[in-house]
Structures are given as C-alpha cells and as structure tokens.
Amino acid sequence: MTKIRVFLLFGVVCLFSSNAWALTGGEIYKGCYAAAQDNFNYDSLPLGEEVYVGHCLGLITGFAEMIRLYEGTKAPPVACIPKDVTISMLLDDVVNFLDQNRAHWDMKATVLILIALKNNYLCRS
C-alpha cells in the first residue's frame, strides 16, 4: 500500500510542477551542474537559477523513486538502480551524461534524464 501512495504522490507533484516537463536538456543542465558542485549553496545562485536546481533534483529523485518502486513487478524495468546509489551519485551521472551529449540539449530534459539513468544502470540478467 505504501508504494501506491508514493506513486500517487509523485503523480500529483508532477501535475503541479508541469513546467519541469517542458524544460530542455540545456536548461536542466544549468541546474544539475550547479547542484553537483562541491561548494553548492542556494544563496550563491543568480536570481532565477534556483528553479533549475529544484527541477533537476526533483526530476532525478522522482524518476529514481519511480524506477525503484517498479522493481519486483511484472513491468519491464527501465533501469536497475542499486539501493546504495544516492541522489548525489545519480546527479553526477546525469551531469556527465548531459555534458557528453550536448548535441541533444534541445531534447526534453525528462527524456534525457531517463536515458542517462537507463544507460548508467542497465539491468543485468
């Protein structure tokens, strides 16, 4: 029952933060890159940039939780993220993926983040 509640909560959050779904790879990179810095501090961000950080961290966390919720179900896995992998580690993976795929920054951020997670956490049989 808890998994269902979390999934529904994630869905509601997504509905109310719908402009995150419209961001491009280039836009989300700004926020992800800023959040991945060792000396990251919200107060040091230029005005308006904190929104991109929030969207980046929210999308990564949301997708990771959704992927983990589906583990053990009959649905085919999108990715297999080990339980010991932290959001900080996922953030670094997404930043590296986006940095290496700048030619695709015009694509939707949601698609690029999912591809980054899938590529970095392939399911092994």
Q: Pick the more confident residue, 6 or 88.
A: 88
Taking a C-beta distance cutoff of 8 angstroms, is the pair 104, 97 a contact?
no
> Which range marks the domain in which residue 41 is found?
2-120
Please provide the average confidence, as pLDDT, over all residues in the chain. 84
Whole-angstrom distance, CA of residue 57 vs CA of residue 25? 14
pTM for the predicted model, two decimal places: 0.80
Q: In angstroms, rounded to a whole number, what is the distance separating the alpha carbons of residues 24 and 86?
A: 24
Asked, for residue 125, whether it belongs to a domain, the answer is: no
pLDDT digit string, tens, across residues 58-110: 999 999 999 988 888 888 888 999 999 999 999 999 999 999 999 999 999 99
pLDDT at 122 over 90: yes
pLDDT beyond 90 at 118: yes
Give the total number of structural domains in the chain.
1
18: confidence class by pLDDT, cuts 50, 70, 90: low
